[in-house]
Amino acid sequence: MADPRFFSRGQPISIAQIIETTGASVDGDVKLSTEITDVAPLETATVGNITFLENRRYAEAVRSSKATACFLPSTLVHKAPKAMIKLVTEFPRRSYSKISQLLYKSESASANIHEAARISDLAILGQDCRIEAGVMIGAFCEIGDCCWIGANTSIDAGVIIGNGTRVGSNVSISHSKIGKNCFIYPGVRIGQPGFGFEIDSSGPIEMPQLGRVLIGNNVEIGANSTVDRGAGPDTMIGSGTRIDNLVQIGHNVEIGKGCVIVAQVGISGSTKIGDRSIVGGQVGLAGHLTIGSDVKIAAQSGVTRNVKDGSIIGGSPAVPISEFRRQVARIKLLGRRNSTE
């Protein structure tokens, strides 16, 4: 079970409640009042636990599992021990996740404005917010209902944050509008001026950085990532997009909805990415590119050209993934042969 120092587990849940919550159906005769006290993976689950089996590869592990109940697809029901309660669903992992969330009250904040928070008299604060010690909220900010702002975070004048958004500790936000139910992790920097200069024959010119950062709903931005504000247009991140830790997003970048940006990616200024695209870890994208929707980019790639919808690319400079794989295979040969071709 999860360490009770950090996670508080709620009341047990009956199989009847689990069925109601997840829409799973039971296989065979089952005592619907059986109580489930915890979630656990197949290997470590014990009596009273619920687990899940999604991938045929782990089917052997289910045989010896001591879990009381298990979410699984109908095609794998026969693999489970007779005594195990089999909860049949197309989405075992998703169902498991739902029950986890029920059992472990999320870290939802108790509403409280700490006396050592510094909130401008000119800021508007919603209902039931938790504002921790050392938080600074500037004039004309609008913070929605049920927001949670972590300790020592600084929110500059005018920033708007939607209902239910959580901001971690030691975050800096300026020049931004952030939607509902977002999670901004600790140490994120949003809204600082971009790397905004150009060079002409008499040296560097500071260009004004007069844009904002606009972030949709249900967006996650990982720890210590940085999002520069626009130079004139805005930097935009669409709803449902998830950004991992230590990612750099340059000014005027536009990221669509439902994208996934893995850790340590760098996106240069004015590049646009469509919806549902996935960018692997440590990828670099040059500036002023147009990357389509449903694109997948392999980790450590360097993208220097526009990319069409649905493309899968890899390498530095990036090429279609099949080409990249051939490159890798051929380079591997080069490394092995001692001949001079």
Give 182-251 as a DSSP string: -EE-TT-EES---S-EEEETTEEEEPP----EEE-SS-EE-TT-EEPPPSSS-EEE-TT-EE-TT-EE-T
Residue 32 or 133 with smaller CB distance to a copy of itself: 133
x-marked contacts with a copy of itself along 237-276 as a string, rule CB under 8 A: ---x-x-xxx-x-x-------x-x-xxx-x-x--------
Considering the rule CB under 8 A, would residue 7 count as an interface residue with a copy of itself?
yes
Residue 48 or 134 with smaller CB distance to a copy of itself: 134
Burial of 24 (0-12, 13-18, 19+ CB in 10 A): buried
* Rounded (10°) CA dihedral 322, 325, 327, 328: 170
Considering the rule CB under 8 A, would residue 170 count as an interface residue with a copy of itself?
yes
Name residues contacting a copy of itself, limited to 288-317 (CB under 8 A): 299-300, 302, 315-317
Name residues contacting a copy of itself, limited to 42-61 (CB under 8 A): none
Under 8 Å between Cβ of 17 and 10: no
Is the dihedral angle over the CA atoms 36, 38, 40, 45 positive or is it negative? negative
Name residues contacting a copy of itself, limited to 88-147 (CB under 8 A): 90-91, 93-94, 97, 100-101, 104, 114, 116, 118, 132-134, 136, 140
CB of residue 240 vs a copy of itself: minimum separation in angstroms? 8
User: How many whole angstroms separate alpha carbon 83 and alpha carbon 31?
Assistant: 11
Q: Is 288 a catalytic residue?
A: no
Catalytic residue among 78, 114, 175, 251: 251
Among 33, 57, 83, 335, binds a copy of itself (CB under 8 A): 335
Residue 58 or 104 with smaller CB distance to a copy of itself: 104
For 14, the 3-state DSSP assignment is: strand
Considering the rule CB under 8 A, would residue 277 count as an interface residue with a copy of itself?
no
> Candidates 11-19, 20-28, 72-80, 322-330 — which segment interacts with a copy of itself by CB under 8 A?
322-330
> Candidates 21-29, 59-67, 122-130, 328-336 — which segment interacts with a copy of itself by CB under 8 A?
328-336
x-marked contacts with a copy of itself along 172-211 as a string, rule CB under 8 A: x-xx---------xxx-x--x--x-xx-xxxxxxxxx-xx
CA-to-CA dists, residue 42 to 63, 80, 84, 337, angstroms: 9, 11, 12, 46
With vertex at residue 281, the alpha carbon angle to CA 280 and CA 287, rounded to the nearest 5 degrees, is: 80
Burial of 300 (0-12, 13-18, 19+ CB in 10 A): middle
For 60, the 3-state DSSP assignment is: helix
Residue 26 or 136 with smaller CB distance to a copy of itself: 136
Active site residues: 251
